[in-house]
Homo-oligomer: A and B are copies of this chain.
Amino acid sequence: MKEGPDIARIGALMGDPARANILGALLSGKALTATELAAEAGITGPTASSHLKKLMEGGLLTQAKQGRHRYFTLAGPEVGAVLEAVMGLAARRGHLRTRTGPKDPAMRAARVCYDHLAGDMAVRIFDSLQARDFLAISKDKGGFGLTEAGSGFVREIGIDLDALTSGRRPLCRVCLDWSERRNHLAGSLGAAFLTHFVDQGWLRREKTGRIVHISPKGQAELKALFPVV
């Protein structure tokens, strides 16, 4: 009957600092064990277990038991997108008290948003794609697709486009960037970009956290591949 409770249910899950830290750590897209997450959030095992249980019941996390470990990940890209959007609100209305830590510039430059790239470089890529008419509005699930030229471009880079379109996950989605307040590319193509650039050695993900470093070579290659108009 009321929409309030729905908001409250999810909000309460995100509202606890320990749980928020857990979610933030999982925004890296990595699968982390309960003990790793406990350390990340600065809490003990039992407390983490309780939180993880609630996050599972709330549908924000999924669990994969492997051996005696239990790996947790965000339940899906949409969860990551919502978390990014929430962080966007915090950053925007944070007003004067913008807590810009030391890692902040690196985060703004390039970071992982669950399974795709976000930050300045991601926005640049999106802008470049649209400027060259590689993206088009379509009736696909994500609402967007590749043009003929765009498909050619993606294949030329060395990405197996057919593999991406086979699944039922949308190829292209837009995701609102927290730091830039602009759109960047999500969907299976966005995810493929990230993994491909990492494979090429152009990007390097930090072992822990969401920050992505761009190698000198990657900087050059990406600037060449995605020129700004």
A residues with a Cβ closer than 8 A to B are 1-17, 19-25, 27, 41, 58-60, 75, 78-79, 81-83, 85-95, 99, 101-103, 107, 126-127, 130-131, 135-139, 141, 143-144, 174, 182-183, 210, 229
Q: Which of B21, B25, B79, B144 contacts A137 (CB 8 A)?
A: B144
When the two chains form their complex, are residues A89 and B143 in contact, meaning their CB atoms are under 8 A apart? no
When the two chains form their complex, are residues A24 and B3 in contact, meaning their CB atoms are under 8 A apart? yes
Beyond A11-B20, A136-B137, whether A89 also contacts B60 by CB under 8 A is: yes
Chain B residues whose CB sits within 8 angstroms of the CB of A85 once the complex forms: 81-82, 85
Count chain B CB atoms within 10 A of each CB in A21, A27, A89 and give the residue with the most.
A89
A183 to B141, CA, bound (A): 9
When the two chains form their complex, are residues A23 and B7 in contact, meaning their CB atoms are under 8 A apart? yes
Q: Which of B4, B11, B103, B136 contacts A1 (CB 8 A)?
A: B103
Chain B residues whose CB sits within 8 angstroms of the CB of A20 once the complex forms: 4-8, 11
A183 to B137, CA, bound (A): 11
